[in-house]
Structure 1
Amino acid sequence: MTFTRAELLTAVERSPRLVAVHDRAGWVALYTPEAQIEDPVGSRPHRGLDQIDRFYATFIAPRDITFHLRTDVVVDDTVIRDVGLEVRMGAGVTMHIPAVLRYDLAAAGGEVKIARLQAFWELPGMVGQFLRSGPRALPAGGALSVALLRNQGLGGAAGFLSGLVGAGTVGKRHVERFLGDAGAGDEVAVRRRLGRARVTVGESHPLSGAELLGMLTDVRCDKLIAAGPHVVAAIEAPNGDRGVLIFDLETRPLTITRLRVFAAPGLTGSDRG
């Protein structure tokens, strides 16, 4: 089934609205029965509505979360949201988290629902913010630990902490160098850095090296996020068109193995947005 851009954005926008009013049942009902959440990407996924309900109880219910939207990009049945998350953990402790959210949508019960949510943000960075809050963070940290163990168990807590490991700073620097070469129009360097990586608009529409270079020349990157084996870059063209690039990386040796492009049609030269 093919959805309109408006239908996809409406389905996605329900999530922050229900989070804001702490509607647990309504929020869980946004997902398909077999849906999965990776939040943050790199941590162990939550699969099925029971695990998603426990995810809500652990990470959303005790907090006030505000979504500051920078841009939405739609490709096929995927919505990419470039956002800043403002998470009030407790008295005097508020986290400000740069994030990119990927929503894959599907038909279920005659409605548009979320089949997968991938939340790209940096768990090490959030931990650092938390620790810099000093003694004020102790009650919130204790509450999170209790909720993790109560709702997720030891295995779930370990699965969450696995989000601390990933491409990290080294991966971000690698992508920064790639974007610098692409922005300068250096075709030889771009081809060398990509190697045999598969490059697509969205999941499945092939993008040639020449098309990619044409899209990225003179483009500015204003957000880089390392999450699990991925680095995500938010980009802006001179004409104001915005997009998001999702890089898959291997670390030994450090290599880009996959690149997914989610961008405004003016950037990709397509009508898939």
Structure 2
Amino acid sequence: MVAPLDREHLLAAVERSPRAAAAHDRAAWVGLFTADGRIEDPVGSRPHAGIPEIGRFYDTFIRPRDITFHRDFDVVFGTVVLRDLELEVSMGSAVTMYIPAFLRYDLREANGEWRFAELRAYWELPAMMLQFLRTGPGAITPGLRLSRDLLTIQRLRGTAGFMSGFRRVGARHKRLMQAFVDALARRDTAEASHALSPTAPITLGDSGPLDIAKLAQQLSGARPEKVIASGATVTVSLNSDHGRGLLFADVPWRGEAITRVRYFPA
């Protein structure tokens, strides 16, 4: 895992992001990233790589609006910080969006400070767009403003890259994940295995080997609290007999089985 002092420093580094966004401090926010940093927001869209593109990401999606981070809980695992939260995004005087999300920060030391090597945001673009449209006529002005910013700042390639975030695994894959978690919660490893491809790796964090029996032990009595499908990944926030945690499952677009499982306990 991670030493308490490192945990404190990593969380402090991550906390600089919502502060800089709330203050509309472009230099501070962009400066949180390493020179080769990447943003994939939402997961499944084309990443923004390098400081110039990260600056354009800020100008398109953060500068024009007020964003409040409502944090539920954090997981610190190695130099990865995972945050379960809801984003409150003011799109204008008449439209405020509430977006369930998971944020993953991969941190690296640079010039004596922890910086973001990668930021990945797991949220559902189609659900957000539906919520946006349901606000009615008030959505017209902020919608036109976002379209303008996409085309003028991101240009056609960047706009297409953002729109690719609409492509994600769907309800069928969420049901598969739900069945997998339910089986693990009652320690039915045979049933849980039916949801996995024969070669699917299971790990604690990104790389610690974990067999399905040990995962079932970790998730005994698990109760899913939030499920998000973003890109080719279904992520579940859950509460088990052993506490809170986040479970990530990779599922091919046309697949019927989970091909990779990662568990991050809080």
Give TM-score, length-normalised by structure 2.
Answer: 0.96
Compute the displacement of 1:61 (Å): 0.3
Residue in 2 that maps onto 1:149? 151
Summarize the alignment of residues 2-151 of structure 1 with structure 2, pairs less than 5 Å apart. 4-151=6-153
Q: Is the 8 A contact 2:182 2:222 kept in 1?
A: no
Q: Which amino acid aligns with 2:213?
A: A
Measure the CA separation in 2 of the matches of 1:251 and 1:132.
Answer: 28
Unaligned runs of 5+ in 2: none
Compute the displacement of 1:223 (Å): 0.2
Measure the CA separation in 1 of the matches of 2:25 and 2:65.
Answer: 12
Q: 1:218 aligns with which of 211, 214, 221?
A: 221
Moved over 3 A (4+): none
Measure the CA separation in 2 of the matches of 1:167 and 1:34.
Answer: 29
CA offsets per residue over residues 13-69 of structure 1, 9 Å max, x none? 100011111101100000000010000001000000000000000000000000000
Q: 2:236 aligns with which of 233, 237, 240?
A: 233
Aligned length: 263
Indicate the percent of aligned positions where both proteins have the same amino acid: 49
Q: 1:196 aligns with which of 189, 195, 199?
A: 199
Secondary structure, aligned partner of 2:228: strand
Measure the CA separation in 1 of the matches of 2:255 and 2:106.
Answer: 31
Compute the displacement of 1:252 (Å): 2.9
Q: Which amino acid aligns with 2:233?
A: H
Residue in 2 that maps onto 1:268? none
Give TM-score, length-normalised by structure 1.
Answer: 0.94
Measure the CA separation in 2 of the matches of 1:125 and 1:252.
Answer: 21
Q: 1:208 aligns with which of 193, 207, 211?
A: 211
Compute the displacement of 1:254 (Å): 1.7
Q: Is the 8 A contact 2:123 2:228 kept in 1?
A: yes
Measure the CA separation in 1 of the matches of 2:132 and 2:254.
Answer: 31
Q: Is the 8 A contact 2:219 2:241 kept in 1?
A: no
